[in-house]
Amino acid sequence: MAKAVESSGELGTTSPRPLMRDLKAVGKKFMHVLYPRKSNTLLRDWDLWGPLILCVTLALMLQRSSVDSEQDGGPQFAEVFVIIWFGAVTITVNSKLLGGNISFFQSLCVLGYCILPLTVAMLVCRLVLLAEQGPINFMVRLFVVIVMFAWSIVASTAFLADSQPPNRKALAIYPVFLFYFVISWMILTFTPQ
Amino acid sequence: MKQALVDDTEDVSLDFGSEEELAFPKAKIRHPLATFFHLFFRVSATVTYVCCDWFSRSFGGCFVTVLLLLSCDFWSVKNVTGSLLVGLRWRNQIDEDGKSHWIFEARKVSPHRPTATEAEVRIFWLSLIICPVIWIVFFFGTLFSLKLKWLALVTAGISLQAANLYGYVLCKMGGERDISKVTAGFLSHTVLPTASPRDFQKPGPAGLEMHKH
């Protein structure tokens, strides 16, 4: 799986890593999620900054504004956070147990980045909710969420499916489906009070 | 404290006689900005977490602020201050056939590059070790006081801080497999500097400052 390769002293320089390079890498991965195609970028150069940003954004948007300071959005905020990270870790453990050859952090990276379409859906839903409530409002949101949900599934399977043995693909993809379904459900049923 | 160290222009060799130290400017802190940021993010994350009730009632705001500070700290310690202050770097690399390797690098000590001073190294390692311990204390604090909504944040804090600690300890260990030897070496050189006979030949404010800690 992972082994420590020590090169003490071989490299004369351990120079600081520039910030812009990391930011560009994150941006590039977002692009890869929006236009999924067979590519190794998400897998080869993984990072967890994108998932963190998306998770925090989603959790902030899913907060209910409440008058009562006791329920100041606290439980909902931490809930979203825990669901996303715990869910991603569970899926990763599941895929490793099924014999996948993808590393722990690579899997977390892919699952986290593929939340991007659903975050966009959340944004759209919040804007739509500013308009008049009603069945049309709900239909629009339902449509947006379904499209983005499908987009997330397609993006993540494009990256994850290859890492599984052929007879286990469905077993590995099913939890991913469930994961994004739960997030989509949270987005769809969100109503600001 | 830091200001006093930076202003100090006494002719003091801090590691008691190493030749290469004499070749370079004798500042106490050669990378003041890196040292400052190394400490700033960790300390302000801890302080914000402790004092968040005084600043604002918003749970989400406090959560995001502390998380942001922890992330900045993680990035800066992993990518910048590690290589500047102690010449170590750790990273993960995925090669062509998809296998993941963790790479731990240590910069070779060379006479042509100014290495960091003892003070910087001490600051680096002490803060690297003390902060995860503080967050573990917070963890038990939230667990036993049943403020469970903070548990997610504290867990994130512990993971981010401990990841850097673990990475750098593995870098430092290099080929050394025995953690007790590394700990003993660390304690003798960094936490409890032993006095050598040459110590008494060069007394100065710097010497006094170090033994005060």
Per-residue model confidence as pLDDT tens digits over B60-83: 888 999 999 999 999 999 988 888
Print the domain residue range for A109.
47-63+75-189
pLDDT in tens, B103-161: 888 877 766 666 668 888 888 899 999 999 999 999 999 999 888 888 989 999 999 99
- Phi, psi of A189, deg, nearest 5: -85, 10
CB contact under 8 A, A74 and B84: no
Q: How many CA atoms lie within 13 A of B190 on its CB side?
A: 18
pLDDT at B117: 80
Query: What are the chain B neighbours of A106 within 8 Å (beta carbons)?
Result: 94, 100
More confident of the two residues B124 and A41: B124
Q: What is the pLDDT of residues A119-144, one digit of tens each?
A: 999 999 999 988 888 888 999 999 99
Contact A12 B110 (CB under 8 A): yes
pTM, entire model: 0.77
Cβ separation of B60 and A12 shorter than 8 Å? no
Domain count, chain A: 1
Residue B207 has phi, psi (to 5 degrees) of -60, -40
A136 within some domain: yes
Class of residue A132 by CB neighbours under 10 A (exposed 0-12, middle 13-18, buried 19+):
exposed
- Residue A16 has phi, psi (to 5 degrees) of -65, 145
In angstroms, the separation between the Cα of residue A40 and the nearest Cα of chain B is: 9
Q: Decide if A56 and B64 are in contact by the 8 Å CB cutoff.
A: yes
**Of residues B119 and B45, more confidently modeled:** B45
Sorted by sequence, the CB contacts under 8 Å of residue B77 that are 6+ apart come out as B38, B41, B42, B128, B164
Reported as a single tens digit per residue, the pLDDT across B77-89 is 998 888 888 888 8
pLDDT of residue A104: 87
Question: What is the average pLDDT value for chain A, to the nearest integer?
Answer: 82
Q: Are A158 and A173 in contact (CB under 8 A)?
A: no
Q: Which of B56, B76, B94 is nearest to A5 (CA)?
A: B94
Which residues 6+ apart lie within 8 Å of B207 measured at CB? B12, B199
Q: Among A6, A77, A106, whose Cβ lies nearest the Cβ of B104?
A: A6
User: What residues of chain B lie within 8 A of the CB of A92, using their CB?
Assistant: none
> Of A10, A14, A80, A92, which to mutate for an interface test with B (greatest number of B Cβ within 10 Å)?
A14
- Inform me whether the pLDDT recorded for B208 exceeds 50: no
Separation of alpha carbons A121 and A144, rounded Å: 6
* Cβ <8 Å between B106 and A74: no
Residue A55 inside a domain? The answer is yes
Q: For residue range A150-178, list pLDDT tens digits in order.
A: 999 998 888 887 777 778 788 888 899 99
pLDDT score recorded for residue B113 = 63
Q: Is B163 on the interface with A (CB under 8 A)?
A: no
Query: Which of A8, A13, A59 minimises the CB distance to B174?
Result: A8
Helices (DSSP H) in B19-110: which residue ranges?
19-23, 32-55, 59-76
Q: Is residue A12 part of a domain?
A: no
Q: Does residue B82 belong to the interface with chain A, where contact is any CB pair within 8 Å?
A: yes
- Mean pLDDT for A92-110 is 86
d(CA A4, CA B100): 10
B contacts of A56 (beta carbons < 8 Å): 64, 67
CB distance A113 to A107 below 8 Å? no
Separation in Å, CA of B148 to nearest CA in chain A: 9
CA distance to B96, B117, B128, per residue, from A101 (Å)? 13, 44, 33
Euclidean distance between CA atoms B36 and B41, whole angstroms: 9
Residue A96, in any domain of the structure: yes
Residue B181 has pLDDT above 80, yes or no: no
Residue A19, pLDDT > 80, answer: yes
Q: What was the pLDDT predicted at A111? A: 93
The answer to whether position A25 is within a domain reads: no
Whether A99 maps to a domain, the answer reads yes
Contact residues, chain B, for A2 at CB < 8 Å: 92, 100-102
Q: Say if A61 is an interface residue toward chain B (CB within 8 Å).
A: no
* Inter-chain touch A14–B105, beta carbons under 8 Å: yes
Distance of CA B58 to the CA centre of its chain: 31
